[in-house]
Structure 1
Amino acid sequence: MPTSRDLLSHLIAFDTVSRASNLALIEFVHDYLSGLGIDSELIYSDDRRKANLYARLGPAGAGGVMLSGHSDVVPVDGQAWTVPPFAMTEQDGKLYGRGTADMKGYIACVLAALPAFLAKPLRVPLHLAISYDEEVGCLGVRSLIEALEGRPERPSLCIIGEPTFMRPVLGHKGKLGMRCDVHGAACHSAYAPQGVNAIEYAAKLIGRLGEIAQRLAAKERHDSRFDPPYSTVQTGTISGGSALNIVPEHCRFDFEVRTLPADNAEQVAAELQAYATELVPQMNAVQPGTGIRFTPISAYPGLATANDSEAAKLLALISGSSDFGTVAFGTEGGLFDQAGIATVVCGPGSMDQGHKPDEFVSLEQLHQCDAMLARLAEWMQA
């Protein structure tokens, strides 16, 4: 049977950047599972250009463990790669290629481990899930979770293999990304009071975001498990105006809120929107029809699995460590957790290498993940 390294070589060859289809990779996995006698189903996107894959093996009934990962990767455009991004290159015990760390390395380990799960009867079910469009807002997994909600044979816990350097992780922050469009009124800058300066009103809103960020950073709100230990707000992009002597009619900015699991990003958005409703009458007093519009970009909840939960105990057993941590990046874990599937995170590689040119995972990390999954198979067969 192919090793995790062999399978990773195949998976890296599929260009599954989020803007592209992932169907070729999903069909490869579907055929691989079929060769092992495992049935799987595809849950397609509305345009049928992408699909989640779901499979289940073992005894009938609810419960069991889900192994979950996403198939999409971030773009390589504009990055200075020294090796081909979509062909695996091995150098000095490291495997290079887009997605080696985030997170096709984990998927390869899961696929390579399946013969061990099939070797003896399982006492609880094993579920497999591969999703699409995680990198652009955890989009694809939502339809997979929706499909599972109406089924009696749902998993009770989930292990997501995002790159944690094989450290067991129980939590991460949630995220809300939003876009704000300010529609003002243009005029010659010599008569600036007759116009509605969209950039200036956008600046007022961004200033309010800064005030909110300062409140969230107050020491009494800290959670030392996270780095930084508080919820953050930041404006990432802004554009507006056309010439210095024209009062700008339009301004757009995107902002994000990354919240501790105990905080609510929607409350931040609601406060900013409430402030915007105070500004709009001032704008309309100068020029009717001006206004401010907010559009959600992406959102996913945080994750905070209890240290003494069954999911945490199992992860400690199979990873060999109860030194639980958190990660700064988000995962699909919060969505699974909201659906009643207790979730933990542990996978090969490091996000220090993810999203960068010459992304890599070490062979040693793959071997550690192989060993963790072998211990899980033994536990499920005991």
Structure 2
Amino acid sequence: MTSQELLGKLVGFDTVSRESNLALIEFVRNYLSQHGVDSELIHNEDGSKANLWATIGPADRGGVVLSGHTDVVPVDGQPWMLPAFEMTERDGKLYGRGTTDMKGYLACVLAAVPSFKAAKLETPVHLAFSYDEEVGCLGVRSIISMLEDRPHKPLACIIGEPTELKPVLGHKGKLGVRCRVHGAPCHSAYAPEGVNAIETAAKMIVRLNQIGDRLADPAHHDERFYPPFSTVQTGVIEGGRALNIVPSECRFDWEVRSLPGFDANEVEREMRDYADNELLPRMRAIEATTDIVFEPLQAYPGLTTEASSEVARLIATLAGRDDFGTVAYGTEGGLFHEAGIPTVVCGPGCMDQGHKPDEFIAIEQLERCDAMMQRLVEHLSA
């Protein structure tokens, strides 16, 4: 099957992160089996989702990992003009949820399987297809844990997120946190007798903004990235019951997009210190049961790969260019890199089309990725 045909099959599976990805994984597993490739699955705790791992070539040495996630973002509330989970071809473009982020890459990897299988590979290639990347890079962590127990650690990893096949050596990390403020309700006519959870949350959000302003100082800039500084933002807030009741509950979600080298946990530590030492004493002077609770939502590290590294030279050879760049979004690459597997990001499509209605990938991008896979076959056979 060609990469276009395979992409049509993959798009047909609704693998929004809230859904199971098992039907897609079984399709991939059967496809690999038809080409004589064994694979193994690593399920989540309730068995509703799975990662897939497969190796082609000699198993007694490290190899190159081709890694991608199978989940996609929701289409709810988006004005799609074309079917989201049925691929449509128009004017040299292939439309459907996940075409660019990132089932296009998975399709090119699978289309190259017969070539990998037929070649006499001196170095193996590994396929790593994960679940729940879009909600915090969750599934890939069990793949990495599995690799820690294997005798031969992979030599390199190529994450196929959409970069228009430009080699990317860096991206920011992310920390996501939920804060729950538990106040004390009362009639709004007697507001000073209660503890207003929304107003307390607002004070915390102001402190987050102040931290963000500090991080944006030019002294902290890294011009390889855009924006060139670590950012802080509040994305969700909810609280209150009625205007005449001092609200007892408020929760808000915030995140840090951190430059490599900056510990996003510093922001959380500062927020906890502010809550413990300034806000809570005043709240509990009115009502002892009030509280501020921090809950982790998401966390993954940034990525920085040296331009002089072997994996950087490899992707420059495969992509046919060495104008290395960075991306603003996060990937599973930081986790592979943190585990001692040198990693780069390079895949077909443009993230400008990702997460949007009528998402698409240009056929030309698939064709170029197919060519890159064939160069990898030749490289691993040398």
TM over 0.5: yes
Distance 1:186 1:62 in 2: 64
Correspondence for 1:317: 317
**1:126-181 CA distance string (max 9 Å, x none):** 11100000001001111111111110122111001000111110111000111000
Written as runs of structure 1 = structure 2, the 5 A alignment for 1:49-60 is 49-60=48-59
Shift in Å at residue 60 of structure 1? 3.0
Off by >2 Å, runs of 4+ in structure 1: none
Distance 1:310 1:63 in 2: 14
**1:16-44 CA distance string (max 9 Å, x none):** 01111100000000011111111100000
Correspondence for 2:127: 128
Amino acid at match of 1:149: E
Correspondence for 1:232: 231
Correspondence for 1:146: 145
Q: Counterpart of 1:292 in 2: which secondary structure?
A: strand
Distance 2:297 2:89 in 1: 37
Distance 2:152 2:49 in 1: 25
**What RMSD, in angstroms, separates the aligned Cα atoms of the two structures?**
0.8
| TM-score, L = length of structure 1 | 0.99
Correspondence for 1:25: 24
Q: Counterpart of 2:323 in 1: which secondary structure?
A: coil
Amino acid at match of 1:15: D
Amino acid at match of 1:297: L
Alignment partner of 1:7 is 2:13: no
Distance 1:120 1:196 in 2: 70
Q: Where do 5+ consecutive residues of structure 1 fail to align?
A: none
Correspondence for 1:374: 374
Written as runs of structure 1 = structure 2, the 5 A alignment for 1:202-217 is 202-217=201-216
Distance 1:312 1:79 in 2: 38
Correspondence for 1:358: 358
Distance 2:187 2:117 in 1: 74
Q: Where do 5+ consecutive residues of structure 2 fail to align?
A: none
Shift in Å at residue 61 of structure 1? 2.4
Q: Counterpart of 1:326 in 2: which secondary structure?
A: strand
Percentage identity across paired residues of the two chains: 66
Distance 1:258 1:179 in 2: 15
| TM-score, L = length of structure 2 | 0.99
Correspondence for 2:289: 289
Amino acid at match of 2:347: G
Shift in Å at residue 193 of structure 1? 1.2
Distance 1:60 1:290 in 2: 58
Alignment partner of 1:109 is 2:108: yes
Distance 2:93 2:59 in 1: 40
Correspondence for 1:342: 342
Alignment partner of 1:97 is 2:84: no
